[in-house]
Amino acid sequence: MPRTTPLSDIRNIGIIAHVDAGKTTTTERILYYTGRKHTIIDVHDTKDLKTSTTTDYMEQEQKRGITIQSAAVSCFWNGKKINLIDTPGHVDFTIEVNRSLRVLDGAVVVFDGVAGVEPQTETNWRLADNYKVPRMCYVNKMDRSGANFRRTVQMVRDRLGARPVCIQMPIGSEDNFFGHIDLVTMQARVWFSDEKDSKWEEWPITDDLADKLKISNAYDRELLGQISQYRTELVDSCLELDDAAMEAYLESGEEPSVDTLRACIRKATITGAFVPVLCGSSYKNKGVPQLLDAVVWYLPAPTDVENIKTVDMDGNPVGERKSSDDEPFSALAFKVLNDKYGSLTFARVYSGVVQKGVSLLNSTRGKRERVGRIVEMFAKDTNDLEEARAGDIVAFVSLQETDTGDTLCDANAPVVLERMRFPDPVISVSVEPKNRTDQDKFSVALGKMVRADPSLRLETDMETGQTILRGMGELHLEVTLDRLRTEFGVEGVMGRPQVAYRETITRPVSHVYTHKKQTGGAGQFAEVKIEFEPQERGAGYKFVDQVVGGTVPREYIPSVDKGLQVQKEDGVLAGYPTVDFKATLVDGKYHDVDSNALTFEIAAKACFREAIKLAGPVLLEPVMKVEVVVPEEYLGDVIGDVNRRRGTILGQLERGANIAVEAHVPLSEMFGYIGHLRGMTSGRGSFSMEFSHYEPVPKNVADEVIAKQGKAA
């Protein structure tokens, strides 16, 4: 079958933003305008009614009003195919944004025009930086009271360190938001209705525009007085990227054509030279068709971005795969979903073509997978496909062996594609089925959830035998249990959330341990001398072999490393994993008969236990970056409360009519905070938090934690 959409006509994009900035609403409008959907159901409405928007179809999303699952949706605009991934804004689900960004070629970052740059926008922006995702900004909610385009653009500059260049600017704001000035074509687009099908009028830009539209707000009028400055900034920024156009301009004074400007904006977006900024109100149906135009014009096709890197089993780069149908098949699974169709594995195809019915290699696991059905998602609905090609985002139905992050490829040309990076969980709870009789069903379902979400971990507590679920926040774990109920029909209960503490050392120690045993016939012998040194936060564990002269035989050195790796998981203070240290094996002794791999492993473990106690061990706790947004009258109470929670205030910012307080607060002090905040602010405060870093726990608190764990310091 020939390719139906040329690779250069595909746009794999995501919409990313802070909670409530309007991603879902914007996605709904996109689906409407692209003709795939003929009724608009508003998020406003679904919070009360039992109707469902297209992407928010899970029960708990409606309940909480946040998009938990990101779904891939395909649509067409001006002959180009847009594969759209809606990503959630809530911090506990950063992982969803993370894995979407990994497989996307471009992103639209949606801002709430009142709040501007919010914490999660910042986090997502940095993630997009990591994955080098080209992006554009869309300042939404220009119709809301307090909307301020100029401030939002300034925040993009200051807080995100980006170079925003406006390609549109708003005409009016709040109730008098009429549309935008297109700074590329130099036209005013004016909407006189909020109806979804209302057509805009194109007006020339004249000095009396504000008068004609009866815009009285001084700020809005001032902004309209600056059109020529904004246009000059756009033209100058474009000319920097096009020598020929610059020369023509310098010679004749003639401004570049619309086509030249568009080519420059595209180049700037893809290379990151600047970030184009658009504006609108998705809810009031103003600006979304032009946002779609911009997606098609400026965001990259799969062929415009760097080739995907291939790696060896340890994750080291070995080569790359070109985005082309002519290359052998390769795809990356970025999401596994269990729904009424069975399991759905969402994958981004990087190269080659796969027909349904063929067998592929899961090169990450060394397992074969048969491709039964291939489907394209239109939110909840599925289109069956005969094949998937380079650049496509598709779902494979009922794969058996493939988890998030795995590579699927042609077995005759195996490769492993660069994996996604996942953070370590910071919180854990014990979980069990509500009814004992559900134990098996519960374990199977939980296993499936964990396979689908790499930011979840499952463990068994060795002492109590309890099942422990680890995740990125209280809400993350709650939602996981909720999904067990709705998707697998099994109810679970969870214990009190526990913080994922860690341990580390504060001073270097050099220690010798001799393992010696004479039991009956054969003896056991191994001696190791290991230097332990503290490392910077986040460094993890490093093992260095500096043995000279074969005092520890080569073949036993990996056993020393293994012994340390096992033992470091059970720290000397309270049994938490020991992190951020370097262990250098400098010397040792062996015995021809009595030494073997096991004796060296035992010696390394014992050496660790003794040495770490001498190396000033301390307990580390996860510290969260918290942002609390409250009306000014509650500011004093909120700051006092943050201080009582061992928090450090980082700063305050105006956020529309409210004040945002930024602080670092230990996670252990934040359990159940939302209830407390609501009580303190009569329900008017909101907050968000995300993991920031690990920090030593103050002595008095550490003593309590250690005592609870029942280990002696």
Ligand X SMILES: Nc1nc2c(ncn2[C@@H]2O[C@H](COP(=O)(O)OP(=O)(O)OP(=O)(O)O)[C@@H](O)[C@H]2O)c(=O)[nH]1
The verdict on 151 binding ligand X (CB under 6 A) reads no
Binding-site member from 17, 72, 117, 347 for ligand X (CB under 6 A): 17
Residue 396 burial (CB count, 10 A): 26
In the bound state with ligand X, the residue whose beta carbon lies nearer, of 65 and 575, is 65
Q: Which is nearer to ligand X, 107 or 331 (CB)?
A: 107
The number of beta carbons lying within 10 Å of the beta carbon of residue 59 is: 15
141 binds ligand X (CB under 6 A): yes
Question: Which of residues 23 and 389 has its CB atom nearest to ligand X in the complex?
Answer: 23
DSSP 429-444: EEEEESSGGGHHHHHH
Enter the tokens of residue 301.
């096709």
As a residue count, the chain comes to 713
Q: Which residues of 678-696 are buried (b: 16+ CB within 10 A; e: fewer)?
A: eebbeeebbbbbbbeebee
Residue 143 lies near ligand X (rule: CB under 6 A) = yes
* Residue of 34, 74, 124, 140 interacting with ligand X (CB under 6 A): 140
> What is the radius of gyration, based on Cα positions, of the chain?
29
Residue whose pair of structure tokens reads 């490829």 in the numeric block: 409
CA distance 139 to 227: 17
Closest to ligand X by CB, 125 vs 532, is 125
Position 44 contacts ligand X (CB under 6 A): yes
Please name every residue paired with 355 in a beta bridge, in sequence order, or none if there are none.
Answer: 387
Residue number with CB closer to ligand X (74 or 688): 688
Residue 172 CB, nearest distance to ligand X (Å)? 14
The region of 18-26, 217-225, 366-374, 470-478 touching ligand X under the rule CB under 6 A is: 18-26
Closest distance of CB 139 from ligand X, Å: 10
Buried/exposed 631-650: b ≥16 CB within 10 Å, e otherwise? eeebeeebbebbeebbbeee
Structure tokens at 289: 């068709």
Binding segment (CB under 6 A) for ligand X, from list 281-289, 333-341, 545-553, 586-594: 281-289
Q: Residue 13 or 305: which CB sits closer to ligand X?
A: 13
Residue 58 touches ligand X, criterion: CB under 6 A = no
- What is the total count of residues that contact ligand X (CB under 6 A)? 24
Residue 683's contacts (CB-CB under 8 Å, 6 or more residues apart) are none
Residue 648 marked as a ligand binder: no
Nearest alpha-carbon partner for 388 in 602, 74, 648 = 74
For residue 416, what are its two tokens?
A: 């492993």
Closest CB to ligand X among residues 108, 639:
108
**From 11, 12, 14, 25, residue interacting with ligand X (rule: CB under 6 A):** 25
Is residue 20 a contact partner of residue 115, using CB atoms and an 8 Å limit? no
Residue for token pair 């854990």:
428
Whether residue 514 is annotated as binding a ligand: the answer is no
* Six-digit token string for 195: 């109806």
CA of residue 684 relative to chain centroid, distance: 28
Considering beta carbons, is residue 23 or 476 the nearer one to ligand X? 23
Q: Least Å distance between CB 665 and ligand X?
A: 23
Interatomic CA distance for residues 6 and 316, integer angstroms:
32
Of 34, 269, 281, 596, the one binding ligand X by CB under 6 A: 281
Binds ligand X by CB under 6 A, chosen from 149, 274, 283, 694: 283
Residue 234 in tokens:
């756009």
Pick the closer one to ligand X by CB: 502 or 655.
655
Query: Judged by CB under 6 A, does residue 22 bind ligand X?
Result: yes
342 is in an annotated binding site: no
**Token representation of residue 124:** 């997502």
92 belongs to the binding site for ligand X (CB under 6 A)? no
**Is residue 234 within a helix (H) or strand (E), and if so which, with residue range?**
helix 227-239
Tell me which of 58, 77, 89, 302 binds ligand X, using CB under 6 A: 89
One-letter amino acid of 683: G
Q: Is 87 known as a binding-site position? A: yes
We find the least distance from the C-beta atom of residue 86 to ligand X, in angstroms, to be 7
Q: Which of 135, 144, 266, 335 binds ligand X (CB under 6 A)?
A: 144
From the list 644, 63, 36, the residue with the least C-alpha distance to 381 is 36
Alpha-carbon distance of 169 to 383, in angstroms, equals: 38
Check binding of 24 to ligand X (CB under 6 A). yes
Q: Is 71 helix (H, G, I), strand (E, B) or coil?
A: coil
Q: Is 88 annotated as a binding residue?
A: yes
From the list 11, 23, 483, 605, which residue makes contact with ligand X (rule: CB under 6 A)? 23
Q: Report how far Cα 483 is from the mean position of its chain's Cα atoms.
A: 20
Distance in Å, CB of 234 to ligand X, minimum:
24
Residue 525 tokens read as 């012998």
Q: Single out the residue of 355, 300, 335 nearest to residue 133, CA to CA.
A: 300
Considering only the stretches 76-84, 137-145, 199-207, 448-456, report the one whose residues sit in contact with ligand X under the rule CB under 6 A: 137-145
Looking at 139-147, 358-366, 574-582, 656-664, which segment touches ligand X (CB under 6 A)?
A: 139-147
Binding window for ligand X (CB under 6 A); candidates: 3-11, 41-49, 525-533, 628-636: 41-49
**Residue 21 annotated as part of some ligand binding site:** yes
Round to whole Å and give the CA distance between 151 and 162: 14
Residue 23 or 231: the one with the smaller Cβ distance to ligand X is 23
DSSP 532-576: EEE--TT--EEEEE---TTSS-GGGHHHHHHHHHHHHTS-TTTSP
Is 19 annotated among the ligand-binding residues?
yes
20 is in an annotated binding site: yes
**Per-residue contact flags (x/-) with ligand X for residues 168 to 207, judged by CB under 6 A:** ----------------------------------------
In the complex with ligand X, which residue's Cβ is closer, 194 or 312? 194
The CA distance from 645 to 698, in Å, is 13
Residue number with CB closer to ligand X (99 or 284): 284
Q: Find the part of the chain contacting ligand X (CB under 6 A) among 191-199, 280-288, 555-563, 650-658.
A: 280-288
Query: How far, in Å, CA of 306 to CA of 671, rounded?
Result: 42
Contact residues for ligand X (CB under 6 A)? 17, 19-25, 42-44, 65-67, 88-89, 140-141, 143-144, 281-284
Indicate the annotated binding residues.
17-24, 86-90, 140-143
Indicate the annotated binding residues for GTP.
17-24, 86-90, 140-143
